[in-house]
A and B are shown apart, each in its own frame.
Chain A
Amino acid sequence: MSKSWTKKDGPQGDICLGTRIRLARNLAKLPFPATANRDQAKQVMKTAKELSGGLDQLASFRFLDLAEVDELERQILMEKHLISPEHTKKTSNKGLILSENEDISIMVNEEDHFRIQVLMPGLQLNEAWELANRVDDLIEANVDYAFDPDIGYLTACPTNVGTGMRGSLMLHLPGLARINQLGNVLKSVSQFGLVVRGLYGEGSESYGSIYQISNQVSLGHSESDMLEHLARVAEQITASERQARKYLQEHNLPESEDQIYRAYGLLAHARIISTKEALDLLSTVLLGIDLGLIHDLDRGLVKKLMVEIRSAHLQKMMGQSLPAQERDRLRASLIRERLNR
């Protein structure tokens, strides 16, 4: 998660960990990245680099050529949700425009020429859309986008055509998971034209009861209608998560307390721990704080740990790449150190 994402809790921050808006845009008259030749890909990179200078009325930006960024740094960008897993792999003529506080990022030559992304803490769909829209306007003032009056912004994959927009909310749903209602809730989400994904987007697994919900459809409705729909469904989900948490407090307190303190105990004493186990336990401890059962731990510290314990972050901390077993040991000792401070 970006700096701005973990720094503050934001509205509804006890359940909605963050908001993301993504706009897919392509330059007119140039093939999409997958079919572009090297010169055409370079041209997109050059345009992007020039554009990054013109965005300074919004924030201070830097342009990164991913071929010049080492693998560990790219992993870190991914763990912060600033680039997609795909964008960490092939690096030739792939770029990133990144704002200083990392709330705005633009992937260059990913699936589309530009993927404009805004990240904000808590539930702030309208605010994030407004900012993404301003970034888009500033870019559009200098380039011609591939746009069709009938079907909107043209994208490499027809699933993104139209607005090119995907709004996503990252929701922490440990309460629903505990009362075994998560399946039901997520199933109804998909009936409302929304998609549920794991922590890192498409095809990724859910860690620590964290789910991303986003709009599936990008064509046929205005951006604000789509976001309103997403917000309404999110409201229902957060309401049922609150109900679930209340239920746990009122009817299942001894068991919940036991689970939460066991998780706390494991985190405070384990010697080898994987990312998944750590995220699941941290999620349980976070629930303990939200339920008012754990008093001596700072919520921000736990949220921060949820990012710091990811593999690339750990390796960066150690200044070198490490084999998996060593990472698991290091992860356990970092958590112990933070929790027992």
Chain B
Amino acid sequence: MLCEKCQKETASVHVTKIVNGEKTEAHLCQNCAKELGEFGLNIDLPNLFASLFDYAPFSGKLVRPKQCPTCRLTMEDFRELNQFGCSDCYETFRDEIEPLLRRLHGSNHHEGKVPAQGYATLSVERQIRTLRERLQQVISMENYEEAARIRDQIRALERQSHGEGK
């Protein structure tokens, strides 16, 4: 049997290595085994996503980090795990995710398949959420006239979504 690396010398070393429970094996000649030290280089990129954020590690003041109300994930956790905890994370971190999606996919808008069921309701829910956020803003600006108008819109949408739910 020939060395798996150089394919020239006869393999005389059998290397077995277990990393994170994953077993890898190689048959090498003595020169290649020496050269490789053990099994070449493992380059780890745990923080690939972090590089995609405009991320300032310390802003100078202490702010409690935003947390997903459903699964308690923070953006800090996401940077570590490279995964979200639940589908609500996408809503919680929408502002952070949109630029990320643009960098990953060159787009932040879905063009493909849409589930046949529940799509209309989903879209109404989203409108309601946006209006609620807007409502908070106008109330904090003490624009009560506008607030009343938005509240009516929300009620109308809620009636619509309940009607569809039946």
Q: What residues make up the interface of A, taking CB atoms closer than 8 Å to B?
A: 26, 28-32, 34-35, 85, 89, 111, 133, 136-137, 140-141, 144-154, 156-159, 161-163, 165, 217-223, 225, 270, 272-274, 276-277, 324-325, 328
Contact = CB atoms under 8 A, between A and B. Distances in A.
Contacts of A272: 1
A149 B104 contact: no
B4 interface: yes
B83 A274 contact: no
A324 B14 contact: yes
Interface of B: 1-2, 4, 14, 16, 21-22, 25-27, 49, 70-71, 73, 81-87, 90-91, 97, 100-101, 104-119, 122-123, 126
A34 B126 contact: no
A146 B117 CA distance: 12
Contact of A149 (B1, B85, B101, B126): B126
17 contacts: A31-B85, A32-B86, A34-B83, A136-B113, A140-B117, A141-B117, A148-B87, A151-B110, A152-B112, A156-B83, A156-B84, A158-B84, A165-B112, A219-B108, A220-B110, A270-B1, A273-B1
B110 A158 contact: no
Contact of A31 (B25, B86, B105, B111): B86
Contact of A274 (B27, B73, B90, B117): B27
Nearest to B124: A149
A218 B115 contact: no
Nearest to B26: A274
A158 B53 CA distance: 13
B112 A221 contact: yes
B109 A150 contact: yes
A238 to B, nearest CB: 26
Nearest to B22: A85
B116 A140 contact: yes
Contacts of B91: 148
B87 A146 contact: yes
A207 to B, nearest CB: 11
Given A144-B117, A151-B110, A277-B1, A35 B86 contact: yes
Nearest to A161: B101
B107 A157 contact: no
Given A273-B1, A277-B1, A151 B117 contact: no
Contact of B85 (A35, A220, A225): A35
Contacts of A274: 1, 4, 25-27
Nearest to B48: A159
Contacts of B25: 274, 324
Given A34-B85, A162-B105, 16 more contacts: A32-B84, A35-B85, A149-B110, A149-B114, A149-B126, A157-B83, A158-B104, A162-B111, A219-B108, A220-B107, A220-B109, A272-B1, A274-B1, A276-B4, A277-B2, A328-B1
